[in-house]
Every structure is written in C-alpha cells, then in structure tokens.
Amino acid sequence: MASALDLLRATLGESQVSVNLSVLEAHGRDENFPEVCLPLAVAYAERVADVQEVLAWCRAQAVPLIPYGAGTSLEGSLVPRVGEAPVLSLDLSRMQHVVSIQPENFLAVVQPGITRTALNTALRYTGLFFPVDPGADASLGGMAATNASGTTTVRYGGMRQNTLALEVVLADGEVLRLGRPVRKTSSGYDLKDLFIGSAGTLGVITEVTVRLHPIPEHVQTLRVFFPSVVEASQAAYAIMANALPIARLELVDALGMRSINRYLQRTYAEQTALFLEFHSSTQAALEEEVRLAEALVREAGATDVTLARTREEQAAQWEARHQIYWALVNAHPNQRYLTTDTAVPLSCMPDLIASTQQLLKEMGLEGSIVGHVGDGNFHTLVATPPDEFERAHAFSERLVRKALALGGTASGEHGIGLVKRTFMAEEHGAALEWMRRLKALFDPDGLLNPGKII
C-alpha cells in the first residue's frame, strides 16, 4: 500500500497526505466510542478537485474513505471499523473559507471546514449570526453531515432548518448542487435534506449555504432551581405547552451543577436547574415573557429564580452549560464515559427523565442528566470504572428502548454511527431497507464511510 500512497502524494502534494501516528490517532477516535482504530492515512483536501482526486484514488485502490471535519462527532461516526480493511480519512479542515456573505439575503456560503465560531466572527459587523450551537466548535460541513443541533434549536432549528443548499461530491466524482438559496421551494425531490444527517455515507459535502438570523436586540437569561429533575422537566413542558417564545431551555441536574461549581469555580446552587433564555425585539415584550415563565416555573415547584443581568453573567452561564461534559469528566477521574442521546415527544419527556433517574438507581450507576428539554432531547453522562463499561452500554440500550416505546428516537442529535445501528430496524421498520437501497444507489461500491448508520 506504500506505493499507492506515494501515488496519492504525487497527485495531491507531499503536505496533503500524512501517516504520522499522532495524526492517525486523532482521526481514529471520537469522544463517545470506546475503541480507537487508525486509518491507513489522512488526506487533506484544499479544494473540490482534491476531493475528486482522492475519490478517484479510492476507487482505483478499492480503499474506502471517511470524511472528517473537526473531529467532534460522537457514536463512532468517524471511527474505522476494527479488524476490517484499511480506510482513508479525508480531512476537510483546510477548506475553511467564507465564499460569500449576503446580509441582504440573510445567508452565507462557506466551505465545509470553517467552524461555527469562525463564521460568526466573520459576521460580526453584519448584525447577523449563525445560530446552530452544538457546544463544540464544530465545522459547518460536519454539522450538516450529522444534522447537528444544540442549545438554540428550540427557537432557531438545527442544521436541517438552517441549511439552504449544499455542494456535494459523489463517490464517482460527480459534483452536485442541491437546494437553492431561497427560504422555500417546491421544486423536485428534496435531495439536499437527504444528505443532511447522512454522516458522509452518500457523498462528501464541499460547500454549505446557511441561513443567518438577526442578532436579538434584547436578551434575558435565567437560572431556575428545583428540588428534583422531575419538577424541572415538568416545568420545561409547561413552558413549551404555553407557547412561550423561548430561545434556550436546558436542564442540568444536581450532580451536573456540583461538577460545574468545582470545575469552573462557580457558586451556583447545587440543585437541579433549568437554564432559560429569551430573545425579543422589545424590552416590554421580553419582560412580559420572563414574567410568564417565572409564574409557570414557580407553579411547577421552583425554589429559586435568578436573573443573569449582564452580558458577562449571561456568557458565564452558557459557558457553564457548554463545559458540563468536561466538568463531569473532571469530577470522575480515571473513569470511562458514555453519553446517551434520546428524544421523545414533548409530553413524554418528563416520563423518560423520571425513568432514567430510576434506571440509574436500579443499575447502581453514577450518571448526570442534562439536555435540550425544550426539544424533548436529553443526555445522560454515565461514568464507570474501565472494566465495567459494559454496564453503561447496557444502561444506554435500555434507555433507548424506553424512548422508542414512547414514540421517540434512538438519537436526537448525535447520530447513529457504529453504536446505535442495532436500533435502526426497530425504529424505522421497512424504511430501513429503502435507506439501504439509497446508499447502494449513491455509493454502489461502498466506499463512503462504510458500516455506518445502516
């Protein structure tokens, strides 16, 4: 295979192909998959033609590839399958240019390697922002490939709602442009949305056209504390059921709050909390929304409501939410960690959270419940000794089956990858076979991220 890699270097350039061990290790893991499997090599694309050249090499050598952005995805989506044929990692992080910003059309066109933070920096003088916020500083191409979402999804939507058009390169090298830079269209089959969430199994995303939104003029952020996750989840449902225009609605349990205080040296109350944020065009409307929300949470059993009054305090609160994974890891050193990801209809969310708490107790596991409860989506971070990781996996399986029984899904936002393929038939029934047919249509040789999803 060395001579074949020499051919790839001759095509792309010496600096665009690496077999450095640390580079291979970084491209053979993710945060939520227990195994590391090194790719054969890492190829760096700097333009669309490079992607086509790499795909041509892969076809000639019968070597599959895995598209790679910032490496922040979960569930083994980026990990080659252990014990199988060598896989090439196609790193798109060098394709990080803003192609165009069109404030008058509320959109931007970007290459796949640009991160959401870099895009919002480029937008800083426009009065607009890109809202999808998964926590990690993910790349836009990777976010489209995984249909990423996050804390602001309850108001602004995830990547599917904020992606207007895509450029993709198929396995045979053909370049397609999918979607149009307009807010609505009824023209033909929606192939663009087929590629969003496909995790690089149907094609390689090389350009993304995204929706932009006006930066809200008035913002109010609250921390609301409850005796337990049950009351907090019921309050979250009450807020959604009353159609309050919430921009963020996040739950953090007592263990999570204790971990945040120790990790970030904060002094928050160490009880289950809801983090809320409202965005409004007028101060009067904002004050009325906050008043109604406070009445609802107090009726649901809130023990304390705290306003984050300054921009600095608001930023500190959302930093705490985004750092909770690392806070919990820091609180449980020398453990292995598993993060679950389920979503259910909103009315079932309090039931699933109560069942999760009971299941943790029943299985004797240490875990923290945190998540986007305004979307009916939450995560449980479970820490176990390294030799007991199977217990965490068994917990995750039982939780997913409970979510499916409630009409929910195995994954609200992390994706399927290698971890959750066993649930696809149970969730999708006969539709899974049609997914397999679509995969075979776009990728007949099975070159693109093999073994994932289906």
Please check whether residue 445 lies inside any domain of the structure.
no
Please check whether residue 367 lies inside any domain of the structure.
yes
- What are the start-end ranges of the E strands in 182-245? 204-211, 213-214, 218-226
Whether 378 and 389 map to the same domain: the answer is yes
Whether 104 and 209 map to the same domain: the answer is yes
Min mean pLDDT across 69-73, 113-117, 193-197 is at 69-73
Please check whether residue 394 lies inside any domain of the structure.
yes
* Average pLDDT, integer, range 81-98: 91
For 1-7, which contacts have Cβ atoms below 8 Å and span 24 or more sequence positions?
Answer: 1/40, 1/61, 1/86, 4/57, 4/61, 4/63, 5/40, 5/41, 7/57
Element of type H or E holding 48: helix 48-61
Domain containing residue 28: CATH number: 3.30.43.10
Please check whether residue 435 lies inside any domain of the structure.
no
Domain containing residue 268: CATH number: 3.30.70.2190
Domain boundary among 182, 214, 246: 214
pLDDT, greater one: 151 or 85: 151
Confidence of residue 236 (pLDDT cuts 50, 70, 90): very high
Whether 243 and 173 map to the same domain: the answer is no
At 454 the pLDDT is 87
Whether 321 and 233 map to the same domain: the answer is yes
At 396 the pLDDT is 95
Please check whether residue 444 lies inside any domain of the structure.
no
Whether 288 and 350 map to the same domain: the answer is no
Min mean pLDDT across 69-73, 95-99, 166-170, 253-257 is at 69-73
* Average pLDDT, integer, range 220-227: 96
Residue 139 structure tokens: 């790349």
Whether 153 and 186 map to the same domain: the answer is yes
pLDDT at position 133 over 80: yes
Q: How far apart are CA 329 and CA 12, in angstroms?
A: 40
Whether 272 and 346 map to the same domain: the answer is no
Which of 400, 336, 397, 387 lies closest to 366 in space, CA to CA?
A: 336
Whether 223 and 280 map to the same domain: the answer is yes
pTM of this prediction? 0.94
Confidence of residue 167 (pLDDT cuts 50, 70, 90): very high
pLDDT at position 261 over 90: yes
Whether 209 and 102 map to the same domain: the answer is yes
Domain that holds residue 175: 98-214
* Average pLDDT, integer, range 390-408: 96
Domain containing residue 396: CATH number: 3.30.70.2740
Please check whether residue 451 lies inside any domain of the structure.
no
Whether 157 and 179 map to the same domain: the answer is yes
pLDDT at position 443 over 80: yes
Which of 283, 281, 309, 306 lies closest to 293 in space, CA to CA?
A: 306
At 75 the pLDDT is 87
* Average pLDDT, integer, range 57-77: 93
State the Cα angle at 439 between 434 and 444, rounded to 5°.
Answer: 125
At 322 the pLDDT is 93
Domain boundary among 29, 63, 91: 91
Whether 123 and 165 map to the same domain: the answer is yes
At 439 the pLDDT is 97
Look at the chain and count its residues. Answer: 454
Please check whether residue 432 lies inside any domain of the structure.
no
Please check whether residue 152 lies inside any domain of the structure.
yes
Total domain count, the chain: 4
pLDDT at position 213 over 90: yes
Whether 232 and 249 map to the same domain: the answer is yes
Domain boundary among 50, 72, 91: 91
